[in-house]
Chain A
Amino acid sequence: MKSNEEWMTAYQQGNREAFGILYERMYEALYSFLFRYTREEQLSMDIVHDTFEVLQKTHSNFDSSKGTVKSYIFQISYRLLLNKLNRRKKWRTLLPFLIPVNTASFSAEEKLTIQQAIAILPEKQRAVILLAYYHDLPQEEIAQVLSIPVGTVKSRMHAAMKSLKEQLKGDYHAEG
């Protein structure tokens, strides 16, 4: 089975089918990351689509010696996400009543706790823990996706773990 990098090379050489295969392989992971980060289904779906739109335009910029296809796609996605969230913050400052009503619902008490604990993490720490735990990205790739030094990745990771444990303290005591 070909690797993502081989399919990307094929796409760079004009193989249109390769784009579809990369989408098939990546969209679930990308959506999961975006959804866990924002907890908004429509926004996450839009960014997945936008990411692949950008990939269609910038696929020639990918260089396999600089990183993996996964980190390249996550990097595009993370930048789009930050742009959208920043733009939204500006609109909310101007027109505060446009804030959408949060319709998210939770099915289990413990699930609610871990979802909330992740949601209330500072954005920078949240991105690190999601990429490290759910997407198995090594620290060098996380640094590349978030455009931060490797040392910062480690410190944010430890801070996020500490904060999560603190937030979930109740559960630890209840079960311990």
Chain B
Amino acid sequence: MLKDEFKKEEQLRRQLDEYKVDIPVKLAHHRKRNRWEHFLAYLASPAKDPLTDGISSAGGLIKFTFMPVAGAVCIAIFQALLL
């Protein structure tokens, strides 16, 4: 048995034994989540704010402020070229 390798490692064994896992009660019966439940769980799961990285970096706030203006200018130029 590979576990025998731990016989000499009393300290490590003791620490590994500290790692207990609580089994969720919901698991006691086999029940498959349907696609709708998966989708709801996906929507409800917390996610990283996509703007945080941009704002926290140097000049990020300025970029976010001027990006809509630059976008509007580009669209205006594109429309002017079409006319």
Contacts and interface: CB of A to CB of B under 8 A. Distances in A.
A49 to B, nearest CB: 5
Contacts of B47: 97-101
Contact of A32 (B11, B18, B23, B26): B23
B2 A139 contact: yes
B35 interface: no
Contacts of B18: 108, 110-111, 114
Contacts, number: 95
A46 B33 contact: yes
A70 interface: no
A101 B46 contact: yes
B27 interface: yes
- The DSSP consensus for interface residues of chain A is helix
Query: What size tier do the contact residues of chain A reach?
Result: 35 or more
Interface stretch (A5-13, A57-65, A73-81, A130-138): A130-138
B21 A31 contact: yes
B30 A168 contact: no
Interface of A: 20, 23, 27-28, 31-32, 35-36, 41-42, 45-46, 48-50, 52-53, 96-101, 103, 108, 110-111, 113-115, 118, 132-134, 136-139, 142, 153-154, 157-158, 161, 164-165, 168, 171-172, 175
